[in-house]
Structure 1
Amino acid sequence: MKFKAQLHNNTVLYRIAQSLAKLGKTAVVQLSQEFIKFIYLGESEASFQLFAPIYMKNIFVDYNIQSAHDNTIYMEFQVDNLIKVLKSAQGNETIAVRLLRKQKKPYLTFKISGYSRSGRTVLIVQDIPVRVLTPVQMSHIREPVVPQAQVNILLPPINNLRSVAERIKSVGQCITISASNTGKIKFHVASEIVDIEVFYRDLINPILPNTKEFESDQIYQNHLERYFSCTISTKNFVKFLYAHYIVPASISCVLIENHAIIFTVYVTTTAIGAHFEDQGNACGALTYYIPAFAL
């Protein structure tokens, strides 16, 4: 099993790691010839999940991956360890990454070459302990299969939503998100003494239902104007909003009524989130699966 590469886009990797750190202490990374994929799983398959595939060519150069399992390597790691290494590597000329065994334990080793203020060459070596996972251990980890969505809508600016979440996160343990196919979305939180609803309109529905599935234009129009809802954990909604580290230009929200909400943030090589219409030029995406809250 081998992995070695030159890291050439520290900024994107660092911002992804920052958003990961707010989800949990550990994450899984899958290395393959085409993608570096970050995976975060909650306490169970019905919990909050994140799958974030990024094209290898946009993060590394001169990379070589070899394993007995289709040249794919899975590793579990402490996210804070990765953040510390990437932060210390910012602004350096060369960052070499290798998977090595030291004292019979696996590590991701970063060799960081740069210059001191006096112009002298400086070499720093930092190790991140990892736990290599087998394909059998990873066999149960799959992106959720979900029913057909009722609404696909682009969210308001994420910093606006963060302000809303800051005000409502202490009101109730769940939040109901309702959206229509006419560019409208509502966020509702209630307790015994407080009832808060935040409403947005004039948003974009990038994908609309197929008119052929409806018997008449009027039935189709009624369907477009109807609100579909899903209640999710307020805590999980706040976790998702840490995607602001990616500086997303737009975020897709897919709502499956009473089942789940899926948020997708597209990433570019500049670490500034891509617009939905530019997703074909994105270097990857962070997809958040948030199941309906079990009342």
Structure 2
Amino acid sequence: MRFHSDLKNIRTFAKLTAAFSSLEKLVWLRLSDETAHFTVVPDTGSQIWSTLPMDFLFENCTIQSAEPGNTINLELSLQPLHRALKSAQNSISASLRLTKKKGVPVLSMTITTTTSRPSHANAHAPPRPSHDDPFGFDDDHDRTHLETSLRREHEKIITQDIPIRVLHPDTVASTVQPALQEPDVHIQLPPLLQLKSISDRFTRLALASGSGSSSSSSKSPRLEISANMHGGLRVRITTETADISSAWTDLDNPELDPAQLRVPIEEHPSTKFRDRGPDAWASVYVDGKDWSRVLSAGRLEGRVIACFCHNHSLVLYVYIPHYDDAGGDDAVLTYHVQAYSA
């Protein structure tokens, strides 16, 4: 089993690990010839499932495994991975290699960075040797080569090891992504950090009041999240003493691609919800604290499409922009939000 790759889009990779860390301390990473699968499945709460092209985060990659498609399944500790990526953000280059240290498998990240050279105000440049000096430099090419060599002497190599566990394919196969249903409502959410600020305020109000809807004061309150097919989104909290909501209007309900649908567009649930008018809301309840952790995906700064199945499920598609490659296609994270019916 072998894996070695240079890293690209390091800033994006660091933001990804920060988003994963908000839900869980560990992430499953399945590497293959074409894709990198990241899976975050806590014991309770929302889940993340994503499939990224290998060239989104890796380049000059070598991967070998006895499994079909050169598949390698790893469990990674997110905190050391995120710390290593933060160290690599301003580096000249960085690479990852699967190896062993004292018989224990690790992902070793090698980071090449530069250190500043001390300046000496009174230092004098050495005189240029004369042409009759047999050990002198008699052309600019040699001088340039020397200057390049001196610069390289000030490069710094940092190695950080990320603890991992190699997973058996059967272990990974036993965890299955939740089924996706055709949504009743799909809508582009407002900026997640704005939505998080309001949702967190509602959660604190419910906790301060002593009880949230369908929950006791010792548990996280449940927020009602609703949307319609006419650009409307609503967050609501009810307590014994208050009923508070915040609403957004004129949001985008993206057009669906008929070629991607299981049913004709005129029979799709979202078409029926649109035809019923702006008073037709699809709603779910979410755990306030878990919802706050999900909304931490706002640090990725991409657009987010929410898909509601009324009284059943809520799925967020978080599009990840290429920070280091403006012309690259966005990748997508799929959040299966833990949702409850009314």
Instruction: State the partner residue of 1:79.
Output: 78
Give the one of 185, 200, 207 matched to 2:233.
185
CA distance in 1, matches of 2:6, 2:324: 18
1:265-276 aligned within 5 A: 265-270=318-323
Structure 2: stretches of 5+ with no match in the other structure: 118-150, 207-211, 213-220, 257-262
* Residue identity in the other structure for 1:62: N
Give the one of 48, 51, 68 matched to 1:50.
48
- Give the Å deviation of 1:224: 6.4
Kindly provide the CA deviation profile for residues 258-284 of structure 1, in whole angstroms up to 9, marking residues without a partner as x: 111001111122179x9xxx9xx6341
Give the strand-richer structure, 1 or 2.
Answer: 1
Q: Tell me the secondary structure at the aligned position of residue 116 of structure 2.
A: coil
Instruction: State the partner residue of 1:165.
Output: 199
CA distance in 2, matches of 1:130, 1:293: 34
Structure 1 residues 161 and 191: CA distance shift in structure 2, 3 A:
same
* Residue identity in the other structure for 2:47: Q
CA distance in 2, matches of 1:179, 1:33: 39
Instruction: State the partner residue of 1:241.
Output: 295
CA distance in 2, matches of 1:218, 1:292: 22
Instruction: State the partner residue of 1:105.
Output: 104
Quick check: 2:192–2:296 contact (8 Å CA) kept in 1?
no
Kindly provide the CA deviation profile for residues 114-171 of structure 1, in whole angstroms up to 9, marking residues without a partner as x: 2211151211111111001111000122221033210011111222212212211221
Structure 1: stretches of 5+ with no match in the other structure: none
Instruction: State the partner residue of 1:262.
Output: 315
Instruction: State the partner residue of 1:156.
Output: 190
CA distance in 1, matches of 2:324, 2:313: 27
Quick check: 1:156–1:203 contact (8 Å CA) kept in 2?
yes
* Residue identity in the other structure for 1:27: V
Instruction: State the partner residue of 2:58.
Output: 60
* Residue identity in the other structure for 1:20: F
TM-score normalised to structure 2 length: 0.77
CA distance in 2, matches of 1:151, 1:271: 33
CA distance in 2, matches of 1:218, 1:6: 49
Larger radius of gyration: 2
What fraction of aligned residue pairs are identical, expressed as a percent? 27
Instruction: State the partner residue of 1:289.
Output: 336
Quick check: 1:115–1:122 contact (8 Å CA) kept in 2?
yes
Kindly provide the CA deviation profile for residues 24-50 of structure 1, in whole angstroms up to 9, marking residues without a partner as x: 211111111222222110215xx4110
CA distance in 1, matches of 2:298, 2:158: 30
Quick check: 1:152–1:207 contact (8 Å CA) kept in 2?
no
- Give the Å deviation of 1:62: 0.5
CA distance in 2, matches of 1:2, 1:211: 46
